[in-house]
A and B are shown apart, each in its own frame.
Chain A
Amino acid sequence: MVALVSDLPELNFDVAACLKQVRQRDEDAARALFRHLYPLVARLVRSHLPRRTSQEDLVQTVFMKVFANLDRFSGTVPLEHWVSRIAINTCLNQLAAEKSRPELRWADMSEEQTEALDAVTAGEQAQEPWQNLAAREIVEKLLAQLAPADRLLLTLLHLEGRSVEEVRQTTGWNVPVIKVRAFRARRKLRKEYERLMAQKNV
């Protein structure tokens, strides 16, 4: 389980005091807030990064949105949840702008990837870190063929291990929508996976 708070470097960071100073245009406070939130934003952007977008540019865009809308932050939810939602929506918009979704072919996979996939399909659990990394690369390529919202949802649920409640807080979607969309997204992912595996057997 990946908790949002665990990404933050300083646990005793006084968010309320910092926000007050940032609203009074205190640059040191703005710098402290940036450094406090950077690990969280960077991790979210890295997990949901569109193919043709630079991670740094997207992180910068997220921070500009955070600072521009800071006056609208009411404090009813933790700041990290509010920032996560901005980051996720920014990534989602960027993913939606990406028109083409390249098809994953068996021939395009590296030797390590095919070996890891063989190990998984043979019923062995990938134990070596390189096998897990190769599996991750394959899954990311499979997910890249899905619609942005489907990709986002499966990443949050299956790769980041978030609960439905955490997904609800992060995306703002309600629970039935999340469950139905996750079911359909998983079905699409299975179809892509079957198509890939069919190429192996040809």
Chain B
Amino acid sequence: MKPTDKTLQRLLNAAAKAPSEIPTAPPLGLETRVLAQWRAAGADDDSVSVFAFFRHAVVGASLVLALCAAWSFNQTGGSVTGEEATRLDYNIQMSLNP
């Protein structure tokens, strides 16, 4: 070991022995600030969850609307075409007229 290494090690040993003040109580106001930020973060979380709920509701409603439209199209479009329906409607109206 070099002499420099020895003296450096002695310096480090002396530094490690330095009494260090162990903090026990937080400074005034720090606890209040941390808890206020924690509360604010919680409020942000709530608004985010409400927004997510509405977003899911809109997506769900759109899906139901699309399914209803598809079902309705299948019900009407599958059996009678538009042109045929018009002709049938015309015939019914003519037969009902005196």
Footprint of B on A, CB under 8 Å?
Answer: 7, 9, 25, 27, 30-31, 34-35, 38-39, 42-43, 46, 56, 59-60, 63-64, 67-68, 116-117, 120-121, 123, 125-126, 129, 131-133, 135-136, 138-140, 158-161, 189-190, 193-194, 197
Contact = CB atoms under 8 A, between A and B. Distances in A.
A60 B26 CA distance: 11
B18 A132 contact: yes
Contact of B12 (A39, A42, A139): A139
- 5 tightest CB-CB pairs across the interface, nearest first? A136-B18, A135-B14, A126-B14, A42-B23, A139-B15
Contacts, number: 102
A7 B21 CA distance: 11
Interface majority SS (helix, strand, loop, mixed), chain B:
helix
B38 interface: yes
Contact of A126 (B17, B19, B38, B41): B17
Contacts of B16: 158-161
Contacts of B34: 34, 60, 63-64, 67
Contact of A42 (B8, B13, B26, B33): B26
Interface majority SS (helix, strand, loop, mixed), chain A:
helix
B11 A117 contact: yes
Contacts of A31: 31, 35
Contact of A136 (B15, B23, B27): B15
Given A30-B38, A129-B19, A56 B30 contact: yes
Interface residues of B, number: 31
10 contacts: A30-B35, A38-B24, A121-B7, A136-B14, A136-B18, A138-B11, A138-B15, A158-B15, A158-B16, A189-B8
B35 to A, nearest CB: 6
A126 B34 CA distance: 41
A60 B35 CA distance: 10
A106 to B, nearest CB: 14
